[in-house]
Chains A and B, each alone.
Chain A
């Protein structure tokens, strides 16, 4: 028995119908792929943050998370209110009282949504040696930067690294540009 593939089927039997459905499914899944890749980071907010490799091309950051963090800092720490105050007209005691609000709140926010750890565990101002192949994004060399690794120098700052981020998930229709709603008491 010979089958002529170039013939157009006269009637849609079950087999052809199945083939058509499969073809459509494949097409749809191919079209969807890029969108899935983009959606992934948003779906897994608690995944550990990998240290970013030096980007070969520039990438745009999404403003969503930045606005979300500003909103959280305003809500718990009155961050935006504080930054927008003109400090020159207040006494240090008044500023101190407000600073407590900002400090306590910021601490709570940072501790609640991030897990942070220092990059180097050595004491600051102590001497340390960097072997060749150290990660330049994690350690910044300054001063007399000549020669080749191993480098020996003084630890000036231990650095900070976010090992976990767990920002709240946002509703699709949520307007992140509203950092704090106006409040009207009735």
Chain B
């Protein structure tokens, strides 16, 4: 820490998004309420052309040797950059998808694959250079680091206080990988922050002292963060301590692979179907043009309620523009039906998406949400978390937790109709339960709030402003075989041993006093690993022999390996498990000998042999 205090001049917020990255900063020690600035990120927009933009699209393109002139790849800080990322990568990839790495972040939290293994772009020919999900994160962070160092040559990123955001739904393994990527990219002073919390910090910064007028004791704030490819949910409770308002993050949602890009695609396929009815079939390249055209037409329709239809044109590919250009229109009723009724239907609170089985675990592919209705995902989240605020705010009634304020984030909500519908949906549930309407918290920049909030959090950590409490949003368990007598043909039932309770704070540690394990020297021991976002009262060491299927989520296996150093292979060493939340914000599991003299790390991210 003393090292940081000497050298860090800025708190740097990095939003490492599934589809875009944003870089923001604020000077440490600046006056409270100083708005964080956005650092524009130089990137190739065309071969040979570099533009600085507020967002860096999170795409990597692996060009063919003869595809691009090497002189055309120069960046301000390098004549021969190792990777091609950003706007140009996305553009080239739209025409040559087999060389494009996209959604790498969603792979980071994908169970059942080795996230250190280079396999992206998925299913591409052998000659295309592959990168691992971890490697992709490193590549983006390195580009951001270079952009920062280019802009601030006297204050290199390695010396700054960096706050990197992760989805609230990231499991410990994915958080650890994100921290690892940051380390490899040369970030030395790192803190992880959940994205919905970052949005709340941005709101707090924007409001200044006024936030205390906008929320009161007993409020529950629902944060809905819809990105390009993912949706992230969190609940924040407002309580009082020593006469001051206190914020607690009380619950986070599941990882939902559903976002704004799905909406644009849904409209494009609707237009495609319409054209097919008119006897016009579309080439694959035209779908791309339609998607692009639909996005702009949608924005116009949602912004201007007097419009009934907006033309959508798909230019020809060749140099003959007239005649080859396809023209159709997107009508208001199509947008309403597809987006509002398709993604935000007014369903009842008991309408939940079909539970996605973890059977998809072994299937290679991203587990996209099967149900496109955001409404049902929201209803399921609020129902599952019905008692989340009881401990802080007193017992509640009803079948779901009742938010009284809503903070929306993400480009999707630039359309007023979609934010109005989201509010109407939640009010529909609240009214049915006899509760008052919730209100909308406003004032954040929907694209940049996460990065700004992260930079502001750097100031908060130095003692300015209010800090959101919370700790871990899950309790963690390992599976152990129960010691019942063996019955031939029947697998011994699994029991879950709580190794880290809900709400563990950064920098704290718990040891399992009563549970001893015998680890065999030279052998690798694997554990089943579980998390629960609803079991708030289990203490470290609690052993569960029964749980509801939706209570515990199975995470990728974890393992530990005792090296033979100083011991004979095959010896059994009795150990205790110790779990710790690091200052960075990651979970660290260790096997410690009973006298505490030796420690072995338990790997959260198992590498395939």
Query: Which residues of A line the B interface, CB within 8 A?
Result: 68, 71, 75, 78, 81-82, 84-85, 87, 90, 94-95, 97-98, 100-102, 104, 168-175, 183
Contacts and interface: CB of A to CB of B under 8 A. Distances in A.
Nearest to B45: A168
Interface string B16-48: 000000000000000000000000001001111
A97 B319 CA distance: 15
A101 B325 contact: yes
A104 B50 contact: no
A59 B313 CA distance: 43
Contacts of A75: 46
Closest 9 CB pairs of A and B: A173-B71, A174-B48, A97-B327, A168-B49, A171-B74, A81-B321, A168-B51, A171-B48, A98-B322
Contacts of A78: 315, 321
Contacts of B311: 97, 100
Contacts of A90: 322-323
Contacts of B326: 97
A169 B72 contact: no
Contacts of A100: 311, 313, 327
Contact of B49 (A101, A172, A174): A174
Interface in B81-118: none
B296 interface: yes
Interface of B: 42, 45-51, 69, 71-74, 76, 296, 311, 313, 315, 317, 319-323, 325-327
Given A78-B315, A183-B317, A173 B296 contact: no
Contacts of B327: 97, 100
Given A97-B327, A101-B315, A168 B46 contact: yes
Contacts of A98: 313, 315, 321-322, 325
Given A104-B296, A168-B51, A173 B69 contact: yes
Contacts of B72: 171, 173-174
B74 A173 contact: yes
Nearest to B43: A168
Interface centre among B42, B45, B319, B327 (most CB of A within 10 A): B319
B49 A97 contact: no
25 contacts: A78-B315, A81-B319, A82-B321, A82-B322, A87-B322, A90-B322, A94-B325, A98-B313, A98-B322, A100-B313, A100-B327, A101-B315, A101-B321, A101-B325, A102-B321, A168-B46, A168-B50, A169-B50, A169-B76, A170-B50, A171-B48, A171-B71, A171-B74, A172-B71, A172-B74
Given A169-B76, A171-B73, A173-B71, A95 B322 contact: yes
